[in-house]
Amino acid sequence: MFGKDRYKIHPAEFASAIDSMSFDHALLSFMELPYDTQVSVFSYLNVLLQHKLVRSLSPQRAGYLLNHLSSDDRTVFFSGLSVSERSKYISYLDEKNKKSTQDFLGYPKNSIAWHIDTNFTVLSKDMTIAEASAHLRAFQKDTEAANVIYVADEAGKLLDDIQVRRLVLNVPTMKISEIMDGSFVSLNVTDTKETAIHKFKAYDRVVMPVINDDNLLLGVITIDDIMDIAEQKDTSDIQKFGGVEDLDYPYVKTGFFTLTRKRATWLVILFLGEMLTATAMGHFEAEISKAVVLALFVPLIISSGGNSGSQAATLIIRALALKELTLKDWWFVMRREIFSGFTLGMILGSIGFLRISLWQYLHWFNYGEHWALIATTVFCSLVGIVMWGTLSGSMIPIVLKKCKIDPATSSAPFVATLVDVTGLVIYFSIAAVILKGTLL
Amino acid sequence: MFGKDRYKIHPAEFASAIDSMSFDHALLSFMELPYDTQVSVFSYLNVLLQHKLVRSLSPQRAGYLLNHLSSDDRTVFFSGLSVSERSKYISYLDEKNKKSTQDFLGYPKNSIAWHIDTNFTVLSKDMTIAEASAHLRAFQKDTEAANVIYVADEAGKLLDDIQVRRLVLNVPTMKISEIMDGSFVSLNVTDTKETAIHKFKAYDRVVMPVINDDNLLLGVITIDDIMDIAEQKDTSDIQKFGGVEDLDYPYVKTGFFTLTRKRATWLVILFLGEMLTATAMGHFEAEISKAVVLALFVPLIISSGGNSGSQAATLIIRALALKELTLKDWWFVMRREIFSGFTLGMILGSIGFLRISLWQYLHWFNYGEHWALIATTVFCSLVGIVMWGTLSGSMIPIVLKKCKIDPATSSAPFVATLVDVTGLVIYFSIAAVILKGTLL
């Protein structure tokens, strides 16, 4: 369908074209491609479409495809399959690929193992650059993983990594040992994805070797995978902030029922929590009947607590995710947030006080003879609730992290709900003290 | 302070060590380094510390440092300075660097121009690989930008990009024209950062050339900068979601007053918006006096609208940012969110109805003889408000994007505030209809 110029199109563009077609059309276009082009286009497709395509291919063609994928793409392909499909398609692999795929799938989802590319060539430090280049021409595939090459001793222990450009930028008669800098940065196969993202950024690398505890080189991770992982992690954090269980696939690819279920879960939890506001309000029903005017400010006051709590939670969760803050900074954060909360509470409280006084003065609304006491109640409540919101919003993520729970779980709506309930208690308690003997 | 092994430490590690010292100590440690090491360590420091260091160095040393930075690091260094400091330090640069820095600073903050690295070598397609390698050894610095080399015609127009590994993986007697694939992906100097992030990811590149409208090669952008840009963008989006003006520096590096001011801005805007709830409630004061029981459910009902609105806004804003959704999908989103909102509203409404009935039945609370009507009011209000929240949350980001405003501005608290005010009106209007003649 792309005419005779099809093979000039970048595989990424071909993949996104296929992605936008109906499945039947996509399958036909894909099957028309030469086998090798199929492999490169396939690696750019989203994993849902990959599964659908493989189910429609003959075992021979599916086997060719799966065996020729890079090992990281292969592991990700298998990770999304059901158990029965997984064993079916694993039987299509040759012995070497079967073993490495099963090995990598054995690691937990949050480890980097699924993204290891085993296509790397190891050099000896006694080679000259010319010998090394000849060796690479014979054994190394032309992929992103080849941007860095590795030097290991006879036992396979990693000695150094060398950017492939250094083979070009140094004269061919030099020895590999002369262009080694003796310092390399590596990942351990059990490292988490966050560690990998952090290391790639800290050291500005494009490829990083992955070793096991014995310092044996298992494979490499390339930065394009790290970019994708970082983006997925941010998406998941953002969705959790917004009070949605993280979707595993993009919004447009997620079915209506999955989407609604993932949203309903948190919404119902928050609703059950928020029901406590009805209980709290019920507790103060007598006060409200005596002074209905108190009810008028309930949404204003509790939402201010919720908003300041969301702000604090957002700042702290992101700073924790970027490792700008660690758990031992809790006291620094707490002091700072108490002062912040106090200042912000004073600002909002003053605006609230002015609002009530002004409306009374201009006869826009009549808060009764005790309007000044009501304004004072609103002022004090706002100071207290904003401080409380700020403090909860900043401390809950730290406490969660301490308990090894992902801090992003304390989403903005979660903090807001918590502060709503407690905020009501603060508001009516302050009212009880200030208005005692007059309105109450 | 690091003893004689200091020069074996990776510059990134040295930089993070310096970053954690008192400034005086940091300055001393930095000055002790050989000039070339200073340059590589400097590029890993955060820009605030870079400014402080340069202010403390002699003009000679500062000049050496600034002239030897890569052009992208130099542009970022200058972009953060005040106008007077900027002209002072620009005078330290040699003519070529002065011109390119001023050129790049002329582009808007959101363009990629500030991150262009001008350290690239251009090859002719008639060279052999051996000749090209010799040329690179003579002229190309050993930096990340050298991972890809460029082929241009005599006029400087870009013909192709070639991964440097291909010079190694092909025999030295081949011509450059034989290893060209004739397809290259490039950025235009006026492209936004989002476009750059998207292209790097779509094409799995580690370096991309930047051209102008005449197809002339201006420089390159490396993926380590793209990683940083993507992270900053996500941080800014997350902070906007949380209702904070985006901080320009990390939480821990932001001063107390800047931090409080950035938070106060949005908090005050939201507070002023939320004041409309007091006005709305005041409007229904008569109804509340007659049926105080209505007030008890106000926080529960409006927060449900706010939470469902936050969820929808979060999903849509992120999907827009990742280009999974475009503006023309608005009708798809709207239909979907109306159904989602209806389903979610029915779920929450039913729980609310059950809660009231159960409490009444178990004599935990007495909602009076008309409890069934109250429960019906709560049910209908929840369906209406959750639908409304979901719809506003999903449509506001799309409308903002249509108006060329960053959709992340419609942060969760903003949507929640909007839904709070309108939710009250929905609630009391439904109550007026259902309870007319009984409670009201």
Residue A355 has pLDDT above 80, yes or no: yes
Whether residue B159 is contained in a domain is answered as yes
Structure tokens at B440: 């009201």
Instruction: Say if A334 is an interface residue toward chain B (CB within 8 Å).
Output: no
Both B43 and B137 in one domain: the answer is no
In a domain, residue B229? The reply is no
Residues in B closer than 8 angstroms to A274, CB to CB, are: 299-300, 303-304
> Cβ of B344 under 8 Å from any chain A Cβ?
yes
Tell whether A8 and A44 lie within a shared domain: yes
Q: Does A430 touch chain B (CB under 8 A)?
A: no
Domain-located, residue A233? no
CB < 8 Å to A241, chain B: 238, 241-242, 314, 412
Check whether B17 has a pLDDT greater than 90: no
* Residue B235 pLDDT grade (very low, low, confident, very high; cuts 50, 70, 90): confident
Residue of B165, B329, B365 with shortest CB distance to A146: B165
Reply yes or no on whether the pLDDT at A382 is more than 60. yes
Contact A314 B10 (CB under 8 A): no
Contact B382, B345 (CB under 8 A): yes
What pLDDT is attached to residue A415? 84
Q: Which of A50-59, A191-200, B252-261 shows the lowest per-residue confidence on average (mean pLDDT)?
A: B252-261
Q: Do B316 and A251 touch (CB under 8 A)?
A: yes
pLDDT band at A388 (very low <50, low <70, confident <90, very high): very high
**B40 lies in some domain:** yes
pLDDT score at B350? 94
Contact A19, A45 (CB under 8 A): yes
Confidence category of residue B5, pLDDT binned at 50, 70, 90: very low
User: Do A271 and A216 lie in a common domain?
Assistant: no
Structure confidence at residue A429 (pLDDT): 92
Q: Assess B266–A contact: CB distance below 8 Å, yes or no.
A: yes
Cβ of B311 and A266 within 8 Å?
yes
Residue A352 has pLDDT above 90, yes or no: yes
Confidence of residue A5 (pLDDT cuts 50, 70, 90): very low
| Distance of residue A277 Cα from the nearest chain B Cα, in angstroms | 6
In chain B, how many domains are there?
3
From chain A, the residues in CB contact with B365 under 8 A are 282
Query: pLDDT by residue (tens digit) across A162-173?
Result: 889 999 999 989
Please compute the mean of the pLDDT values over residues B198-208 and round it to a whole number.
86
Largest CA distance in chain A: 97
- Mean residue pLDDT across chain A: 87
- In chain B, the percentage of residues whose pLDDT exceeds 90 is 23
Indicate yes or no: CB of B299 within 8 angstroms of CB of A304.
Answer: no
Domain boundary among A181, A203, A222: A222
Assigned token pair, A247: 């979707």
Over residues B338-352, the pLDDT tens digits come to 999 999 999 999 999
**What range defines the domain where residue B269 resides?**
251-435
> What CATH number does the domain containing B19 carry?
1.25.60.10
* B346 to chain A: closest CA residue: A264
pLDDT (tens digit per residue) in A172-187: 899 999 988 877 889 9
Q: What is the mean pLDDT of residues B131-147?
A: 86
Residue A8 is predicted with a pLDDT of 62
Q: Do A244 and B339 touch (CB under 8 A)?
A: no
Inside any domain, residue A245: no
Give burial (CB, 10 Å; 0-12/13-18/19+) of B286.
exposed
Instruction: Write the pLDDT tens digit of every residue in A251-291.
Output: 878 888 888 888 888 888 888 888 888 888 888 888 888 88
For residue B4, the model assigns a pLDDT of 41
Q: Indicate whether B108 pLDDT > 80.
A: yes
Confidence of residue A389 (pLDDT cuts 50, 70, 90): very high
Whether B184 and B262 map to the same domain: the answer is no
Among candidate residues A277, A314, A240, the one with its CA nearest the CA of residue B303 = A277
What is the distance between the alpha carbons of residues A152 and A123, in angstroms, rounded to a whole number? 6
Residue A232 CA, chain-centre distance (Å), reads 5
Average pLDDT of the segment spanning A368-373: 86
| Residue among A165, A318, A355 minimizing CB distance to B239 | A318
Q: Does B245 lie at the interface with A, CB-CB under 8 angstroms?
A: no
Please report residues of A whose CB lies closer than 8 A to that of B414: none
C-alpha to C-alpha distance for A262 and A285, rounded to whole angstroms? 35
The answer to whether B377 faces chain A, any CB pair under 8 Å, is: no
Kindly state the helix (H) or strand (E) to which residue A148 belongs, with its residue range.
strand A148-152
Model confidence pLDDT, tens digit, residues B28-59: 889 888 888 898 899 888 888 999 999 999 88
Chain B residue numbers touching A367 (CB-CB < 8 A): none
Question: Closest by alpha carbon to A231, among B115, B322, B194, B241?
Answer: B322
Instruction: Identify the pLDDT of residue B288.
Output: 87
Contacts of B301 in chain A (CB under 8 A): none
A66 and A141 within one domain: no
Q: Output the pLDDT for position A410.
A: 66
pLDDT in tens, A42-93: 988 888 899 999 999 988 889 999 999 888 889 889 888 888 888 889 889 9
In a domain, B204, yes or no: yes
The pLDDT of A145-149, averaged and rounded, is: 85
Query: Alpha-carbon distance A11 to A38, whole Å?
Result: 9
CB contact under 8 A, A351 and B226: no
Residue B11 has pLDDT above 90, yes or no: no
Residue A162 sits in a domain whose CATH number is 3.10.580.10
Indicate whether A73 and A211 sit together in one domain.
no
User: Do the Cβ atoms of A348 and B267 come within 8 Å?
Assistant: yes
Query: Does residue A71 sit in the same domain as residue A164?
Result: no
Q: Same structural domain for residues A388 and A268?
A: yes
Which pair of tokens denotes residue A54? 């493989």
> Do B155 and B94 share a structural domain?
no
CA angle A421-A425-A426, nearest 5°? 110
A360 and chain B in contact, CB less than 8 A: no
Residues in chain B, total: 440
Check CB contact under 8 Å for A336 and B256: yes
**Between B5 and A27, where is the model more confident?**
A27
Same domain membership, residue B299 and residue B202: no
Question: Which residues of chain A are within 8 Å of residue B296 when distances are taken between CB atoms?
Answer: 278, 281-282, 285
* A112 falls within a domain: no
Residues B255 and B400 in one domain: yes
Q: Is the pLDDT of residue B414 over 50?
A: yes
Domain boundary among A59, A78, A105: A105
pLDDT given for residue A157 in this prediction: 85
- Output the pLDDT for position B155: 83
Q: At what angle do helices A298-321 and B223-241 cross, to 10 degrees?
A: 160
**Of the residues A49, A71, A105, the one at which a domain ends:** A105
Torsion of CA B284, B285, B291, B294, to 10 degrees: 60
Contact B206 A201 (CB under 8 A): no
Gap between the Cα atoms of B423 and A215, Å rounded? 61
Residues of B in contact with A184 (CB under 8 A): none
Confidence of residue B410 (pLDDT cuts 50, 70, 90): low
CB atoms B8 and A182 under 8 Å? yes
For residue B6, pLDDT over 60 is answered with: no
Considering only A192-206, A242-256, B161-175, B204-218, which range has the smallest mean pLDDT? Answer: A242-256
Query: Which chain B residues in 268-307 lie under 8 Å from chain A, judged by CB atoms?
Result: 268, 270-272, 274-275, 277-278, 281-282, 285, 288-289, 292-293, 295-300, 302-304, 306-307
The contacts found for A185-190 with CB under 8 angstroms, 24 or more apart, are: A185/A161, A185/B10, A186/A158, A186/A161, A186/A210, A186/A211, A187/A112, A187/A211, A187/A221, A188/A212, A188/A213, A189/A107, A189/A111, A189/A112, A189/A113, A189/A116, A189/A218, A190/A107, A190/A111, A190/A113
Looking at the structure, tell me whether residues A427 and A320 fall in a common domain. yes
Q: Do B324 and A251 touch (CB under 8 A)?
A: yes
B258 is a domain residue: yes
What CATH number should be reported for the domain holding residue B396?
1.10.357.20
Give the C-alpha separation, B161 to B271, whole Å: 54
> Is A310's Cβ below 8 Å from some Cβ in B?
yes
- Report the distance separating Cα A407 and Cα B238, nearest Å: 14
Query: B389: closest CA among B309, B313, B335?
Result: B309
Is pLDDT above 50 for B7?
Answer: no
Whether residues B329 and A244 touch (CB distance < 8 A) is answered with: no
Token look-up 């009374």 returns A360
